[in-house]
Amino acid sequence: MTSATKPPPARRFDHDRLLIGGKWVEATGGRTYDVPNPATEEIVGRAPDASREDMQRAIAAARKAFEDGAWRRSTPRDRARVLHAIADALEARKEEMRAILIAEAGACWVSHDTQVEWPIRHFRTYADLAIQFPFEQMLPAPPIQSPMGTWLNTSMVHSAPVGVCGLIPTWNFPLFVLAQKLGPALATGNTMVVKPSPYGPLINLWVAKLIDEVADLPPGVINWVTGQGAEISEELVSNPSIDKVSFTGSIVVGRRILAAAADRLRRVHLELGGKSAHILLDGDNLDMAAPSLAAPTFFHSGQGCAMGTRVLVPRALADKAVEKMVGFVGNRDIVKIGDPADPSVLMGPVVREERRRAIEAYIESGIKEGATLATGGKRPAGVEKGYFLEPTIFADVDNRLKIAQEEIFGPVVTVTAYDDLDQAIRIANDSDYGLAAMITGTDQVKAVEVARQLRTGNVWINAGGNIGNAPFGGFKLSGIGREGGVWGMHEFTEVQHIVWRS
């Protein structure tokens, strides 16, 4: 290739320092690690690779900031001002944010409402909640009578900050998830250490810098520690100075966090995985339904916790539904696969080669266990760089198969036929997970009746999606607790009853 035809070098988003106690410091030994763009495999930045000692320093700084009390005692207005300042700065630097999310998370433009706009809305919601949340509520208190006389009690419920929080957001929708933790943790007066996923340090450190520039927080209120090793996470979830952990990730790690919390009865909030059913009620508009039923095979390459990856269809419609879904995802004019930097691309890569291999192993197991591979299952032909996979649909899937029971976290959907709605509900609920479910159909009353019988934290009917002030979280192994709106505020507060005699 001549220099005239060489593509320009990838834009870099390097960070060499962690934020601990209000100071930007190198990780022990100045260690950093490289972060690839999953679409091109080019290095797009480096991030500090922290040690256990770095994490201990960050936790100590957060503890000091909490005990010093400046933030804990700040007024709701002060907190709202900080949260609005963060939202304003994100809004002003949206294009920079977009560029990092494309390069680091492989975020196609079609996902940018969730990736780029929602984090800003979340910070504004928590700014409003900082003011509206009932931090102090008076309770009616009847007069007390005793042989000594009669007196009045005054009774108040005070919502106090939990204390020092360990926040562990994830990489797939990194800012969306971060804002759902950081927003309420700040709005309720906590101090914290943020430990991003090893796959997503660059966008986190970019936000850390932005907040440091605009928010005017006391030192140590938010500390940011990035790194590849498990020991920094283990320290964060087991250090006696940590009062609460808010984690988004897998069940395996969720269990470890719960176990580590046991000795100090640490507060734990877990947003874990999902294996959500998408129930098609009728065939009134299969052409409209097909893209939505097939969406997890292309939208963010199926890397979402609440995607309808188990499609349940009436038996009489099963063949037709699969045909329409396969037809839609096979149309490369619409489902264009490529570098998310191109706004016309609908499907990008998965985040890492190790993730691609794990997804391929699931595809292999589906074939071996007898499911029909209706489309996909391979790496796209002619694509040499990037961790791409084809949209993949399995038909005739028994719900007990591994591909229908385990979370694949890749562009794979299973289709299972049902005979009547009771059976559809049984199949939908036959899962260890309980994060979300989707229902598509013309009869909204029936859809809501079905929704009530599903054992999931969220049900989205006819592509109704998540909204900012609503609770989000799971039943069963999908987690403990809820984030979003006032539910997120409750997660970061302790209830204190104060009563006095007047």
Footprint of ligand NAD on this chain (CB under 6 A)?
A: 168, 170-172, 177, 197-198, 230, 233-234, 237, 248-250, 253, 256-257, 271-274, 305, 407, 409, 435, 479
* Angle formed at CA 200 by CA 196 and CA 202, multiple of 5 degrees: 100
CB of 314 to ligand NAD, least distance (A): 28
CB of 119 to ligand NAD, least distance (A): 14
Nearest to 34 by CA among 22, 21, 44: 44
**Integer distance in angstroms from the first to the last C-alpha of the chain?**
86
CA–CA separation, 179 and 203 (whole Å):
12
Nearer to ligand NAD by Cβ, of 394 and 472: the residue is: 472
Q: Of the residues 108, 305, 483, 491, which is catalytic?
A: 305
- 108 a catalytic residue: no
CB of 226 to ligand NAD, least distance (A): 10
**8 DSSP assignment:** P
The identity of residue 53, as a single letter, is E
Strands 244-248 and 164-168 turn out to be: parallel
CB of 120 to ligand NAD, least distance (A): 19
DSSP assignment of 233-295? HHHHHH-TT--EEEEES-HHHHHHHHHHHTTTT-EEEEE-----EEEE---TTHHHHHHHHHG
Tally DSSP H helices, then E strands, for the chain.
16, 22
Nearer to ligand NAD by Cβ, of 74 and 197: the residue is: 197
Reported for 107-114, long-range contacts at CB under 8 A and 24+ positions apart, including other chains, are: 107/300, 107/340, 107/348, 108/300, 108/340, 108/345, 108/346, 108/347, 108/348, 109/340, 109/343, 109/345, 110/299, 110/346, 111/173, 111/299, 111/300, 114/173, 114/176
CB of 420 to ligand NAD, least distance (A): 30
Q: Of the residues 104, 165, 235, 271, which is catalytic?
A: 271
CA–CA separation, 227 and 249 (whole Å):
16
Decide: 412 and 297 in contact? Cβ < 8 Å.
Answer: yes
CA–CA separation, 193 and 185 (whole Å):
11
CB of 445 to ligand NAD, least distance (A): 29
CB of 11 to ligand NAD, least distance (A): 25
What are 323's two structure tokens?
A: 């045909």
Helix, strand or coil for residue 442?
coil
CA–CA separation, 419 and 355 (whole Å):
35
CB of 10 to ligand NAD, least distance (A): 23
CB of 435 to ligand NAD, least distance (A): 6
CB neighbours of 72 closer than 8 A, spacing ≥ 6? 66, 161, 189, 190, 191
**425 DSSP assignment:** H
CB of 215 to ligand NAD, least distance (A): 24
CA–CA separation, 350 and 344 (whole Å):
18
Residue 92 host element (H or E): helix 76-92
Helix, strand or coil for residue 384?
coil
Nearer to ligand NAD by Cβ, of 225 and 286: the residue is: 225
Nearer to ligand NAD by Cβ, of 363 and 395: the residue is: 363
- 305 a catalytic residue: yes
Nearest to 276 by CA among 436, 458, 451: 436
Decide: 109 and 340 in contact? Cβ < 8 Å.
Answer: yes
Nearer to ligand NAD by Cβ, of 200 and 314: the residue is: 200
List, by residue number, the catalytic residues: 271, 305
